[in-house]
Structure 1
Amino acid sequence: MADSESIFLSLGSNLGDRQAVLASAREQIAKRVGLISGESSLYETEPWGLADQPAFLNQVIRVETELAPDEVLRIILDIEHELGRVRYERWGARVIDIDLLYYNALVLDSARLTLPHPRLQDRLFNLIPLVEIAPDFMNPLLKKTSLELLNLCTDSGVVSKIS
C-alpha cells in the first residue's frame, strides 16, 4: 500500500443550494479520494475574475490520499460533472468548482495540471480558508507559508466567514 499524501482542495459554489452542494462534494471526495483530515469554515466571497454573478460559498479541505495527482484530478472533475457543473465561460457562475491547490509539496506543470495551483497566491477566497487549517504549510514553489502568502496578497475581494 502506498503512503498517503496530504492534498488541499478548494471547494466553491454560487448556484443552487450552495451549502448542500459543498456537503455533497465533501461526501464524494471522502468516498473516492481519501480521508478528509481538515476542513475550514465556510466563507461567502465576492466572485473573482468575472464580477457579474452571485456570491460564492468557498471552503478549503485537507485530504489524505493514496491516489496519484492525475487520478485525483480525474475524480474531482467527475464529481463536478455529477453535481451539475457545466463549463460555459471561464470564471463564470457554477454549481460546483473543485480545485487542487496542493498535492503535498509536489511541483508539477503538465498539460492537464499545474501544482501548486498557479493563482492560489492571488486569491483571498483560497488563502483565508487555507490559513485557517494550514497557516504554516509551505508553498513549494514560492517558498512562503500560507500565512505569508495571505499577508502579501493584493486581492481586495470581500471574504466573510459564515460558519
Structure 2
Amino acid sequence: MSTIAFVALGANLGNPVKQLQEALALIAALPDSQLLLQSSFYSSKAVGYTDQPDFINAVAQLETRLSAAQLLHSLLEIEAQCGRQRTFQDAPRTLDLDLLLYGDARIMQDHLIVPHPRMHQRAFVLRPLLEIAPDISISGLGPAADFLALLADQQLSVLTESKPLR
C-alpha cells in the first residue's frame, strides 16, 4: 500500500539552489516511490542560530511504499551523500531534509516524529507546503493555512528561477 508523504528541503551552504535540485532528483529516484509535486524555491532567514546565510527552502510531495522509518533513513542517506555534517543544532548546512507528513500518521519513535514537531511554527515550511497542497491539515493540529496566518513576521521570497513540478 502506498502513502502520500511530504518532505521539506533546505540548504544555505555552497550552492543551495543546485543542492535542492540534486536532492529532488535523488528523492525522485527512491525505490518504490514517485515524486508527485514540488513547490517553488523560497529564500528565508535562518531560525534559531541566525548568524548564517539565508536558506533556500522547498517542499516535495511523494507517493511511497516505503515505511516512514525507511523513508526517513533514505532522506538521511541523501543528506549524507550531499555533504551534510551535523555540527550543532540549527547550524548552517548543505542540505536538510525533514519528513513533515506521512499520510495521516502520527508517529513518535526514537528519531522519527510525524507530523514534524515544529512544522506549524515555520513559514518556510508552511508556505511551500500550501503551494502544492492548499487544503492540507497537520494531523492532530488542524489546517496548515491557519498556522501560516500566525507567522506573518517570518518573511519569505519566492525565487523566480525556480519552477514548481506539477
TM > 0.5: yes
AA aligned opposite 1:105: D
Report 1:13-162 matches (<5 A).
13-32=11-30, 34-142=33-141, 144-151=142-149, 153-154=150-151, 156-162=153-159
AA aligned opposite 1:106: A
State the TM-score, normalizing by the size of structure 1.
0.94
Distance in 2 between residues matched to 1:149 and 1:131, nearest whole Å: 11
Distance in 1 between residues matched to 2:152 and 2:95, nearest whole Å: 22
Distance in 1 between residues matched to 2:153 and 2:83, nearest whole Å: 30
Distance in 1 between residues matched to 2:79 and 2:121, nearest whole Å: 23
Aligned-residue offset at 1:135: 1.6
AA aligned opposite 2:12: N
Aligned-residue offset at 1:155: 6.3
Distance in 2 between residues matched to 1:30 and 1:65, nearest whole Å: 10
Distance in 2 between residues matched to 1:155 and 1:149, nearest whole Å: 10
Q: Deviations over 1:35-90 (max 9, x none)?
A: 11111100001001111000000000101100000000110000000100000010
AA aligned opposite 1:20: K
Distance in 1 between residues matched to 2:38 and 2:62, nearest whole Å: 9
Unaligned runs of 5+ residues in structure 1 are: none
Identity among equivalent positions (%) equals 35
Q: Secondary structure at the match of 1:52?
A: coil
Unaligned runs of 5+ residues in structure 2 are: 161-166
Q: Deviations over 1:122-141 (max 9, x none)?
A: 00000110111112112111
| Number of matched pairs | 159
AA aligned opposite 2:110: A
Query: Aligned-pair RMSD on alpha carbons?
Result: 1.1
Distance in 2 between residues matched to 1:104 and 1:82, nearest whole Å: 26
The answer to whether the Cα contact below 8 Å between 1:134 and 1:146 also exists between their aligned partners in 2 is: no
Distance in 2 between residues matched to 1:134 and 1:154, nearest whole Å: 18
The residue number in structure 2 matching 1:10 is: 8
Aligned-residue offset at 1:112: 1.4
